[in-house]
Structure 1
Amino acid sequence: MVSSALLTSLLIASTASARPTKRGTGEVKCPVVLSGFVPVDKTPTDFDSYATSPFNPDYIRGDEKFSTILHFPEVEASRFDNASTKAVEVTINDKSIFQTQNGFRRAGLQIQGDENEGGPGSTGVRTIHFSVKQDAERTLNLTHEYLNVWHEAADYSSNQFNFQSGTIIGKSGADKSSFKVLDRQNNQIWSTPIDATAWQNFAITLDFVKNTLQVYYSKDDEPLKAVTEAVSNDNSGGGQYQIGILKKPTGTSDVVNSGFQETGIDEGQIYGGIFIEDGAGGCISL
């Protein structure tokens, strides 16, 4: 008869061996000014407290706590994650209504310390790194427009850049099955197809002195490469980085307050390797 202690140890060993073990080899070479890395020992309830979450536990979400809408999928590590960090999945459902924004379904992460005005993420040269992976069980409905990562000005009137997916409202020629980077004037400056299985790694550099924007990209554990030049962009107005899912409605010109959202929403986006580094002197982690 197998003892309960031995059975427990066998179950733990079996579970551990079934988990993906490949780690990213990306090296962070520049000073990190805001860290959204998720320590491997974090549990869902840790994200409900300022004392234990790397993110603001109150924003951005509806009435549901982050412990119920964040998941930790068993996936191989993204490029800049290592043995001490893990991926996190942001999910939305029918209840994902932030404040009174009834047109949106929205949940997102704000790194603790990212202040809306005069914060460390909106000065000098800053590069936000993030990797994304798709959840085959919680796919996005790409007939809608999604904001996935963006920098929102302090007065909430505009975004210095948008990293988006799906059907962009008013841009019929855009491929809904691609990730797109838009500048402050909502001009698309670069895109790439959404990969259903690979990690897709992105870095977006905002130079708040020269008012430029530059995009870097790679897949899985490949080094990032520049896919645009440093293009002119209006980076004024301070603000904060938003990381997660904002799903716009269809059938309305008032997307914040009204429009169509189907029922039974269960969608997710997996993120890894989230951090913002100081790009002074041209420094960038690839």
Structure 2
Amino acid sequence: MENATALNEEMDTGVSVFHFSIKADESHPLNYTHEYQVVFIEPTDGSHVFGLQLGSPFTNPTGVVPAPNATSFKVLDHDLNILFTILFTSKTWHNFAVQVDWGNLTFQVFYSTNEAPLDAVTDVMPNDSAGADIVGDFHFGILKPPLVNPLDSPAQQADVVHYGLQEGSLEGLLYSSVFMETGPLE
């Protein structure tokens, strides 16, 4: 299950900061053999301005799962490069802020745990996907792509929406402080 909020002129011009905090739901643990896209901005072209991922990245064919960094948060850029990674520890709130400068085509990641103030964990970085014509959605929730089914045809294996191996979705995460503000972080 996920929530999506459509970006509008106020959200995708100037500088926008997307805040979100995530904690493990101990009664609904994740299956780290799968990928979980837990926060992302998705323009209408289906790419991502940035993304926050847990679990083993989707690969075709399915690689070794769980991946070595499956239990770590991974902040990804438009090209799916890992910009920041941190172990997802239980009983801890993991606080993120991603600052997107739509005019200068840059972004920066901030992070802290529990009540600690946010600290910059990346430099200001180029972000080609944050152009002036961006229209899309701010997603938060659990998007869980399947594992590739070796019995499916190559065309079916590439169609992760309709094919693949998928168990029931009893996994969960706790979200808090999900909001967006304009202007740079002070």
**Which structure has greater helix proportion?**
1
Aligned letter for 2:180? I
Q: Deviations over 1:219-253 (max 9, x none)?
A: 00001100000111111222120011100100133
The normalised TM-score by structure 1 is 0.56
Q: Which has the larger radius of gyration?
A: 1
Tell me the distance in 1 between the aligned counterparts of 2:42 and 2:158: 20
Deviation at 1:174, TM superposition (A): 5.8
User: 2:41, 2:137 within 8 Å by CA — same for their partners in 1?
Assistant: yes
Tell me the SS of whatever aligns to 2:70.
coil
1:216 aligns with 2:120: no
> 1:24-103 residue pairs with structure 2 within 5 A?
none
Tell me the distance in 1 between the aligned counterparts of 2:93 and 2:180: 19
Tell me the distance in 2 between the aligned counterparts of 1:244 and 1:152: 13
1:242 aligns with 2:169: no
User: 1:144, 1:248 within 8 Å by CA — same for their partners in 2?
Assistant: yes
The runs of 5 or more residues in structure 1 that have no matched partner are 1-106
Deviation at 1:138, TM superposition (A): 0.5
**Alignment partner of 1:268 out of 172, 175, 184:** 172
Tell me the distance in 1 between the aligned counterparts of 2:160 and 2:185: 36
User: 1:168, 1:174 within 8 Å by CA — same for their partners in 2?
Assistant: no
Tell me the SS of whatever aligns to 2:25.
coil
The runs of 5 or more residues in structure 2 that have no matched partner are 149-156
**Which residue in 1 is equivalent to 2:47?**
158
User: 2:58, 2:146 within 8 Å by CA — same for their partners in 1?
Assistant: no
Q: Deviations over 1:92-144 (max 9, x none)?
A: xxxxxxxxxxxxxxx21234xx34xx432211100000100111111111110
**Which residue in 2 is equivalent to 1:254?**
159
Residues 1:142 and 1:119: Cα distance change in structure 2 (over 3 Å) = farther
Tell me the SS of whatever aligns to 2:57.
coil
Tell me the distance in 1 between the aligned counterparts of 2:119 and 2:173: 23
Tell me the SS of whatever aligns to 2:52.
strand
Q: Which runs of 4+ in 1 moved over 2 A?
A: 169-174
Aligned letter for 1:240? D
Tell me the SS of whatever aligns to 2:108.
strand
**Which residue in 2 is equivalent to 1:138?**
28
The alignment of Structure 1 onto Structure 2 pairs a total of residues equal to: 170
Tell me the distance in 2 between the aligned counterparts of 1:156 and 1:142: 28
Tell me the distance in 1 between the aligned counterparts of 2:159 and 2:71: 24
User: 1:122, 1:240 within 8 Å by CA — same for their partners in 2?
Assistant: no
Cα RMSD for the two superposed structures: 1.7
Deviation at 1:190, TM superposition (A): 0.9
**Which residue in 2 is equivalent to 1:180?**
74
Q: Deviations over 1:173-192 (max 9, x none)?
A: 76111000111011111110
User: 1:216, 1:225 within 8 Å by CA — same for their partners in 2?
Assistant: yes
The normalised TM-score by structure 2 is 0.85
Tell me the distance in 1 between the aligned counterparts of 2:27 and 2:139: 24
Aligned letter for 1:277? E
User: 1:133, 1:196 within 8 Å by CA — same for their partners in 2?
Assistant: yes
**Alignment partner of 1:127 out of 3, 8, 17:** 17
1:200 aligns with 2:103: no
User: 2:20, 2:177 within 8 Å by CA — same for their partners in 1?
Assistant: yes
Higher relative contact order (CA 8 A, sep 6+): 2
